[in-house]
Amino acid sequence: MGLDKKIVLASGNKGKVREFVKMFTDLGLDIVPQTELGVGDVPETGTTFVENAIIKARYAAEITGMPAIADDSGIEVDYLNGVPGIYSARYSTLDDSFKGTADSTDANNNLKLLDALKDVADDSLRTARYQCILVYMRHAADPTPII
C-alpha cells in the first residue's frame, strides 16, 4: 500500500497541525491543513470517535480531491458511563447543568467533569481513558479507510 506524499489534514487546529506535521515529515509526507485549502469544518454527526473521524476525513477528501487524514478524540470516564466521550471538546456547553461560563474551553470542560465527580469519594471509581482514532482516506469514496 503506497501513501500519497501530499495529504490534507482534516483540522484547522494549530496545535494539532503542528503535531501532525512533526509526526509525518520524517516519513516524507506533506501534511496540508484543510484551512489552507479553503475547507471548513463539517458537522460531527457520528455517534463514535471512528464515525466522526471518517466524516471529517471523507469531507476533506471530497472538497480537495486529495487523500485525507483526520482524528477524533476525547476522554471517557467509567463512572459516567463513558461521558463526555465524543462530546469532550464541548462538554461544558452541552446543557445547563454546569454553571461555568458559556465558553467550551479545556478549563471549563475539566471543571464540569470534576463537578460531575464531586460526590465520588472513592478514587478507585474515578477511572478514565483517552481515546484517539486516526483515519486515512485514500479518496472521498474510499470503501475501506485505514483506521
pLDDT exceeds cutoff 60 at 101: no
Residue 51 banded pLDDT, cuts 50, 70, 90: very high
Cell numbers for 31: 501534511
Strands 128-137 and 68-77: antiparallel
Is residue 96 annotated as a catalytic residue, yes or no?
no
Q: Nearest 10 degrees: CA dihedral of 55, 59, 61, 65? A: 160
Cell numbers for 61: 477528501
Annotated catalytic residue: which of 4, 26, 71, 72? 72
Per-residue pLDDT, averaged over 33-48, amounts to: 96
- What structural domains does the chain harbor? 6-137 (3.90.950.10)
Locus of grid cell 466524516: 55
Residue 73 banded pLDDT, cuts 50, 70, 90: very high
